Structure 1
Amino acid sequence: MVRRDGVRGGVWVCTENGERFWGKKCVVTVGAWTTKLVKTVGGIALPIQPLETTVCYWRIKEGHEGGFAIGGDFPTFASYGDNYIYGTPSLEYPGLIKVAVHGGYPCDPDKRPWGPGNPLAPLKEWIEGRFSGVVDSGGPVATQLCMYSMTPDEDFVIDFLGGEFGKDVVVGGGFSGHGFKLSPVVGRILADLALSGEAQGVELKHFRMARFQENPKGNVKDFL
């Protein structure tokens, strides 16, 4: 919970276990809980949908590990289609490559289903068709359930909470499964907004919360 200090200014941050912290400024980056917190604190309904998704790691066949290692020529990739499939070079687990479906199932972050995850059949077929002979398509070696915080336009929310908080509370959320790739620059922008009230040289109109009041779909795009 975040509350305004009406006496000396700034904000109070109250944690679930009862701890309280005061600060002149506050940056809110709570992932799948963004909608709940912003609604409770600021009365603003953000259309950020938590999704439960599955990250899958597949075994690179012996002798081919170097071709998929980070630092080499293998790229981070996305394959657009009925199933939007993405992947990254081998990094977290040597000998394994991350290939997964971009998307998931709507969930309540406080009551997660911890379900079976995204279907594996499309992934198996895709891997067999693209990496036949070098990546084992029989099934993932490891899977991890995690959450997206998905906006209708898949663009981020980077804005001041406003209202009684003015520019003292900055919100960063709705990163839609791809925010991790831009985390260094997003972190810098959030820090600049909190410290100085602006991010010089950065146009943030695209990431305003108010865009959803103007159009429920946010930043309308035309995909060819």
Structure 2
Amino acid sequence: MASSTTYDTIVVGAGVEGLYTAYHLAKLKQKTLVLEQFPLPHYRGSSHGQSRITRMAYGDQNFYTVMMKEAYQLIEVLEKESGQQLFIQTGLLCIGNENDPIVRGSAASLQQHGIPYEKFGTKEQKQKFPMMSFPDNFGFVIDRLGGILKADKILQALQTQFKKYGGTLRDEEPVVSIDPGDSVTVQTTKGSYKAKNIILALGPWAPKFLARLGLHLPLQPVRISVCYWKEKTPGQHSADKFPVFLMEGGGGDFTIYGLPAQEYPGLVKICLHNGPRIDPDDRDTVNNNWVMDSIQQYVQKHFPQLHPIPAVVETCIYTNTPDHDFILDRHPKWKNVIIAAGFSGHGFKLSPVVGKVLAELAIGAKPSYDLKPFRIDRFKNTSKL
């Protein structure tokens, strides 16, 4: 058993949000411990896998576009520190009905923030991206700065740099209990630790664990089917020809995203941004047929140059809030208990900035961004706070 050790901050959860937070804290010379319940690397949460989409375009949610400007800069810093390429610029193609927020809002936001973009109709789409098939009333916006984040490599780089800056990372060490107060005592399966602050970046385990601290938030884990589709003509969907894309329909109720053939040779990643509700400890017993039916029909209709049955299916977990905005806030009772949760399937790209503001909260600095959209009290009518 490890003896009791005191830290400035303990971060629980070594997903991308927890690791980026710990990395920033360590760079600020804070004595920081990261606790992770599973052996690393693991594939049970929300941060694993080789790729994620990144983008400046964020429709009507301008505060994310503002945050993304610095997120890009911070990824560049990590690239330089690690000596690795962590970002591939392909452009992001926003797809939807001409009047859908994803098309109209993205163009307006990109223009407002001086980000290079292009807007066009179906005729131009067929010339630029002939492997796609969409109705004549569709509109398209290319965010020129969009692309692919190398997710697994980012996690590895953060672990390495965190340790270089003096941080301590303990995996295979589940937290058994937290005793909040002027300082926080954390009991794990292997030892006891004290800290001035604790940051809970628990991913899909947040609803269960936060309930033990008297916080019942509207967080819902869902299982995402990560599908890869084989090209009929090899090389047609490579990263130099095929952008990452995002399509919304039905007022945002039906969202599809895709990435070029990058991870598996000749396989394009296209997924539904939704899935069945799950318990993260019982994730594979749910009925997933409606997800697979929806995505297969979509690929068959709009991507005729792909085989309509996925060649590979993997899984990931989103933890959704009702408004799909994050929770970045202090516990209502204990101000040194900081919560990072509900990233709703779009947290990875923003993690460099999320980690920065969580570190600022921990050291008592003014956050670099307005955190009002992410406060817990927005759920006061639907939650036990």
Size of the aligned set, in residue pairs, is 204
Partners of 1:100 and 1:123 within 8 A in 2: yes
Q: Which residue of 2 aligns with 1:152?
A: 322
Counterpart pick for 1:140 among 305, 310, 324: 310
Q: Which residue of 2 aligns with 1:185?
A: 353
CA distance in 2, matches of 1:114, 1:178: 25
Counterpart pick for 1:205 among 340, 355, 372: 372
Aligned residue runs from structure 1 range 27-38, under 5 A: 27-38=199-210
Could you say if the C-alpha distance between residues 68 and 116 of structure 1 is closer, same or farther in structure 2, counting changes exceeding 3 Å?
farther
Q: Which residue of 2 aligns with 1:61?
A: 232
Could you say if the C-alpha distance between residues 79 and 160 of structure 1 is closer, same or farther in structure 2, counting changes exceeding 3 Å?
same
Counterpart pick for 1:10 among 168, 183, 186: 183
Partners of 1:85 and 1:100 within 8 A in 2: yes
Q: Residue 77 in 1 paired to residue 246 in 2?
A: yes
Cα shift at 1:197: 4.4
Q: Which residue of 2 aligns with 1:161?
A: 331
Cα shift at 1:73: 5.3
CA distance in 2, matches of 1:29, 1:159: 11
CA distance in 1, matches of 2:178, 2:260: 39
Paired residue type of 2:262: L
Counterpart pick for 1:90 among 261, 266, 277: 261
Q: Residue 100 in 1 paired to residue 271 in 2?
A: yes
| Structure 1, gaps ≥5 residues long | 218-224
| TM-score using structure 2 length | 0.49
Paired residue type of 1:173: A
Partners of 2:230 and 2:267 within 8 A in 1: yes
CA distance in 1, matches of 2:207, 2:265: 36
Partners of 1:114 and 1:145 within 8 A in 2: no
CA distance in 1, matches of 2:314, 2:234: 26
CA distance in 2, matches of 1:35, 1:153: 16
Q: Which residue of 2 aligns with 1:220?
A: none
Paired residue type of 1:97: V
Q: Which residue of 2 aligns with 1:216?
A: 382
Give the RMSD, CA atoms, in angstroms.
2.3
Partners of 2:203 and 2:341 within 8 A in 1: yes
| TM-score using structure 1 length | 0.80
Q: Residue 21 in 1 paired to residue 199 in 2?
A: no
Q: Which residue of 2 aligns with 1:111?
A: 282
Could you say if the C-alpha distance between residues 93 and 12 of structure 1 is closer, same or farther in structure 2, counting changes exceeding 3 Å?
farther
Deviations 1:84-138 (Å, cap 9, x if unpaired)? 22222333333222111111112222333444535322222211222212x222x
Percentage identity across paired residues of the two chains? 36
Q: Which has the higher helix share?
A: 2
Deviations 1:121-169 (Å, cap 9, x if unpaired)? 2222211222212x222x1111122221111111110001131x21x12
Could you say if the C-alpha distance between residues 129 and 64 of structure 1 is closer, same or farther in structure 2, counting changes exceeding 3 Å?
farther
Deviations 1:5-55 (Å, cap 9, x if unpaired)? x5xx4212223x2432222221111111111212212x1210001112211
Counterpart pick for 2:223 among 52, 55, 71: 52
| Structure 2, gaps ≥5 residues long | 1-176
